[in-house]
Structure 1
Amino acid sequence: MPYVEGESVRQRLDKEEQLPIPDAVRISTEVANALDYAHRHGVVHRDIKPENILAP
């Protein structure tokens, strides 16, 4: 998988300590939708954590 530059959720949490609720809900929804898509296509990530999620 190619490297993609950007700020991770971990980096954002380190700066902000806590995400605003609308941001947390949006990120969680996007991650859930992405995982649903991946799982429906037989792909399992196996390492979901803030460091591996790019923050919009």
Structure 2
Amino acid sequence: MASTLVRPRSGKVLAGVCAALADRFGLSRGVMRLAFVLFGLFGVGELAYIVLWVLIPKAP
């Protein structure tokens, strides 16, 4: 499990939010992406993704 929450510069699909969360909590990136798609069906996934995109810093 990573100690910090940063968006990776490689291995990302869009902004790296799902990759950052998956790396931080030791989950599969695919599972995290699927979770955001499912949350998106209820209208909260897109908003959460955008907020996290702004809040999570990019890796150096």
Question: How does the TM-score come out when normalised to structure 2?
Answer: 0.33
Greater RCO, 1 or 2 (C-alpha within 8 Å, sep 6+): 1
Of structures 1 and 2, the larger Rg is shown by: 1
Could you tell me the TM-score, scaled by structure 1's length? 0.34
